[in-house]
Amino acid sequence: MNFKIAVLAGDGIGPEISKQGVDVMSAVCAKFGHNVSYTEAICGADAIDKVGDPFPEETFQACMDADAVLFSAVGDPKFDNNPTAKVRPEQGLLAMRKKLGLYANIRPVETFDCLVHKSPLKEELVKGADFVCIRELTGGMYFGEKYQDDEKAYDTNYYTRPEIERILKVGFEYAMRRNKHLTVVDKANVLASSRLWRKIAQEMEGSYPEVKTDYMYVDNAAMRMIQDPRFFDVMVTENTFGDILTDEGSCITGSMGLLPSASTGDHTPVFEPIHGSWPQAKGLNIANPLAQILSVAMLFEYFECKAEGALIRKAVAASLDANVRTPEIQVSGGEKYGTKEVGAWIVDYISKS
């Protein structure tokens, strides 16, 4: 198989973890006889500094010309600490999602037995937790009409039936492939947009009679994720709620550096870690590359290359079992490994398998 990959390293730790993802993809392609080519493109604060646009046209075209995008992170403190900034790195991420029509964000939350002690939750609660959050990505408050002055501000949580139907279809289909349990998360007791979500979901239930569908207010879902994460199989929700809940889900595994994601829709799919740019760690060789590497596994699986994805997952699990870990998840007294060393160990494991 031939792969054309657009590589958007972005800001902060992005370039460091991006390289590990690219190296792992190259190793897997060599192992399985695939051809792969890469096109690097700028985005985020890096692109603002260079061309004044966080998602320039050249980057968009590189994405459209590719089979998939391997994205890392955007964000920089000089923008975070400036509320008057007219252009921000995160606008590039939103623009990419909108222009590529990436309406479905898929975030698996899966624990590793050797790391459950790192979770702030009790082992008996998190061990065996394995669910998927599906977040609508191109609607809601992030894209609705906005206004701000010195006295008032608003963000419009706007959704249409087609937007809701297509993301719910993704949720039902994921549930059919897993354990046939779908939880629709909303705030239908307060928000009109949520009532439309619930109405449409109830209409669609009949098309998926094998799926056990339940409904949960977002505040209850947030609490249930902490109290009983194993309750969930597939969760589907709107953009803002999904952003918050999926980050909350990261604490279940013990590290945000373990969680990959995929964004799919009308055009080129994007595969990325969920953790952000962590600018304080830039250049220190301490960032965990596993979420980026697991995003590569999701990329292969998207293209039905299941053996390739399985080998990456096996290599990641082996690295954890061998205590080849970056500092935030290393065992007490364990050998020190950096971003580069963890990535190199996994590449070597794949090459020798």
Q: What is the pLDDT of residues 166-222, one digit of tens each?
A: 999 999 999 999 999 999 999 999 999 999 999 999 999 999 999 999 999 999 999
Active site residue 11: no
Q: Worst-scoring range by mean pLDDT, 1-15, 78-92, 303-317?
A: 78-92
| Residue 130, pLDDT score | 92
| Residue 261, pLDDT score | 94
- Residue 84, pLDDT > 80, answer no
294 — pLDDT class (breaks 50, 70, 90): very high
Listed residue (252, 303, 276) closest to 14, CA to CA: 276
| Residue 188, pLDDT score | 97
Q: What is the pLDDT of residues 113-149, one digit of tens each?
A: 888 888 888 888 888 899 999 999 989 998 899 999 9
| Residue 178, pLDDT score | 95
- Residue 81, pLDDT > 80, answer no
Q: Which of 214, 219, 228, 266 is catalytic?
A: 219
Active site residue 187: yes
Active site residue 217: no
All structural domains of the chain with their residue ranges = 1-102+266-353, 115-250
Q: Which of 130, 247, 314, 340 is catalytic?
A: 247
- Residue 344, pLDDT > 90, answer yes
| Residue 15, pLDDT score | 97
Three-class DSSP labels, the chain: CEEEEEEEEECCCHHHHHHHHHHHHHHHHHHHCCEEEEEECCCHHHHHHHHCCCCCHHHHHHHHHCCEEEEEECCCHHHHCCCCCCCCHHHHHHHHHHHCCCCEEEEEEECCHHHHHHCCCCHHHHCCCEEEEEEECCCHHHCCCEEECCCCEEECCCCCHHHHHHHHHHHHHHHHHCCCEEEEEECCCCCHHHHHHHHHHHHHHHHCCCCEEEEEEHHHHHHHHHHCHHHCCEEEECHHHHHHHHHHHHHHHCCHHHCEEEEECCCCCEEEECCCCCHHHCCCCCCCCHHHHHHHHHHHHHCCCHHHHHHHHHHHHHHHHCCCCCHHHCCCCCCCCCHHHHHHHHHHHHHHC
| Residue 78, pLDDT score | 86
- Give me the architecture of the 1-102+266-353 domain, per CATH: 3-Layer(aba) Sandwich (3.40)
Q: What is the pLDDT of residues 212-253, one digit of tens each?
A: 999 999 999 999 999 999 999 999 999 999 999 988 887 788
191/303 Cα distance (integer angstroms): 38
- Residue 300, pLDDT > 90, answer yes
Active site residue 219: yes
Q: What superfamily in CATH does domain 115-250 come from?
A: Isopropylmalate Dehydrogenase (3.40.718.10)
- Fold match, 1-102+266-353 / 115-250: yes
Q: Which of 23, 118, 187, 208 is catalytic?
A: 187
54-68, 133-147, 240-254, 269-283, range with greatest mean pLDDT: 54-68
Q: Which of 11, 186, 233, 243 is catalytic?
A: 243
| Residue 112, pLDDT score | 86
Active site residue 76: no
Question: For 257-265, what is the mean pLDDT?
Answer: 92
| Residue 302, pLDDT score | 94
Please indicate, yes or no, whether the overall pTM of this predicted structure exceeds 0.75: yes
Q: Which of 142, 159, 208, 337 is catalytic?
A: 142
254 — pLDDT class (breaks 50, 70, 90): confident
